[in-house]
Structure 1
Amino acid sequence: MPSLRDLAELVRAPAALSVPGDVVAGAAAADALDRRVPGLAGASVLLYWAGMAANDWADRELDAKERPERPIPSGRVSPGFALGVSAGLTAAGIGLAGLAGGRRALAVAVPLAGAVWAYDLRAKNTPAGPAVMAACRGLDVLLGASGGRVARAVPAALTVAAHTYTVTELSRREVSGATRALPAATLAGTAAVAAAAVARPRTADPAAASGSPNWRTLVPAALAGWYGLQYGAAQARVAADPQASKVRAAVGAGITGLPALQGALVARAGAAVLGVAVAAAAPLGRRLARLVSPT
């Protein structure tokens, strides 16, 4: 029987801190911050963990050569057990989404689960891989919006999806290293994502509508800047020295820095205090990443 640490490594447990913010960002944008959000966030985490376990099951032969320290190739977790964990977490995630958000949430959770499995089993090692993974994160944001005005959450979903695309592109070079052109391109994408997180598709704060600045109007820019600085600096280091270890560090920064971006989106929707709370998961995620790798 695998230990709790083995299971935590299998599902990349600390990386799940980057997941609830998707749901909160979607709910904030869709005017759906209500009692359904915690349950939907929990469902999102379960589906994320399911994807991580399925990823290692699908990659078990490759990992035996490139990452023998991972739970399956090291013998600490059997392939069958990992597949069972993934299937069970998927079912639990879809079930919790239905309980928390009803049919509207299920209408997003089911295709989200399908996209997760499609990425792990088919798309990951194809040119479509980054786009499929980006779609997973975009759907995760829309899961949070499912109880409200979903169309209003589309800009936030696209912003998170664009960030995810850059992280996924980098992750494909975690073992081999990258060319300098790749981090230069993803860094430009990160700058665009940070700018998009500040732009307001609609105004929820009367002070912002009148043009009168206050601390709440500054929060989205501060959090987006924090996101851009942390993730951007890691990519700049890859551009200067594109060896595999620097690429892995940049991927980790992209994962653990996502809550700052999510917090900016939440604050942009008018929930500044909640946005700061979401962003607070970023430093916690970095600390936990020292114990269990998020990549």
Structure 2
Amino acid sequence: MNGGSVTAVGAGARPTGVARAWAELLRLPALFTVPGDALAGVAAVAAAPNSRTLLAVGCSLCLYEAGMALNDWADREEDAAERPHRPLPSGRVHPAAAFSAACALTAAGLALAARAGRPALTIAVPLAATAWAYDLALKRMPAGPTAMATARGLDLLLGAAATTGHPREALPSAALLATHTLAVTTVSRRETTGGSTLAPWPPSPRRPC
């Protein structure tokens, strides 16, 4: 009887452990911060949210989660050495499953954008491309902060494009958000690498050849 109880507990614990691993991989608590950009885009064009706004928010959520899964897949070797407790290096989530999830979530996000209309899809495609480029390469390059800023600006435009079909009016707000993101990301990166916390503006004068 006791053995049966232990078996039952073990069988029930495994799905819970898998769910927790995926929740950690996808950083689910951070999802609550994602809709803000798309909703800011709606506010920027002085429009009322509608059903297409919900599609834009759904697209943003899918692309965000795709980026989370892809980020850990791209960093799996580094995490194995520095963060072995993460879902992939610890073996709780298989790398192939994480990559497949990133692909599926990206496809789902683009499908939602397509349902919202061509203007939304026109924004969502470069947004997805920017997220993939950032995770796979750009985050380790000087262009990393610019890519992050571009993604935030496009996310804001996505909300405007889906809701009204005319994202041009939201360009100033998108540029402001992108500039703020660029500054914060650049300063954060310099803090992480031990450099000055001052943003590198204006640029340093070039040394003579």
Question: TM-score when scaled to structure 1?
Answer: 0.58
Residue of structure 2 aligned with 1:6, choices 11, 21, 25:
21
Say which SS state the counterpart of residue 72 (structure 1) adopts: coil
CA distance in 2, matches of 1:21, 1:138: 12
State the AA in 2 paired with 1:81: A
Percent of aligned positions that are identical: 52
Query: Compared with structure 1, are the counterparts of its residues 171 and 56 closer, same or farther at alpha carbon in structure 2 (3 Å cutoff)?
Result: farther
CA contact (8 A) 1:54 1:117 kept: yes
Which blocks of at least 5 consecutive residues in structure 1 are unaligned?
A: 189-295
Which blocks of at least 5 consecutive residues in structure 2 are unaligned?
A: 1-14, 202-209
- Alignment of 1:49 onto 2:65: yes
The number of aligned residues is 183
CA contact (8 A) 2:38 2:158 kept: yes
CA distance in 1, matches of 2:28, 2:135: 17
Superposition deviation, residue 8 in structure 1: 1.4
Say which SS state the counterpart of residue 41 (structure 1) adopts: helix
127-136 or 65-74, which moves further after superposition?
Answer: 65-74
CA contact (8 A) 2:187 2:199 kept: no
CA contact (8 A) 1:24 1:33 kept: no
CA contact (8 A) 2:44 2:169 kept: yes
Residue of structure 1 aligned with 2:74, choices 58, 64, 75:
58
Say which SS state the counterpart of residue 57 (structure 1) adopts: helix
CA distance in 1, matches of 2:154, 2:35: 13
Say which SS state the counterpart of residue 95 (structure 1) adopts: helix
CA distance in 2, matches of 1:171, 1:10: 22
| Residues 213-261 of structure 1: per-residue CA shift (max 9 Å, x gap) | xxxxxxxxxxxxxxxxxxxxxxxxxxxxxxxxxxxxxxxxxxxxxxxxx
Superposition deviation, residue 173 in structure 1: 6.1
CA contact (8 A) 2:21 2:92 kept: yes
Superposition deviation, residue 171 in structure 1: 5.1
CA distance in 1, matches of 2:189, 2:90: 22
Residue of structure 2 aligned with 1:40, choices 56, 67, 86:
56
Q: Which has the larger radius of gyration?
A: 2
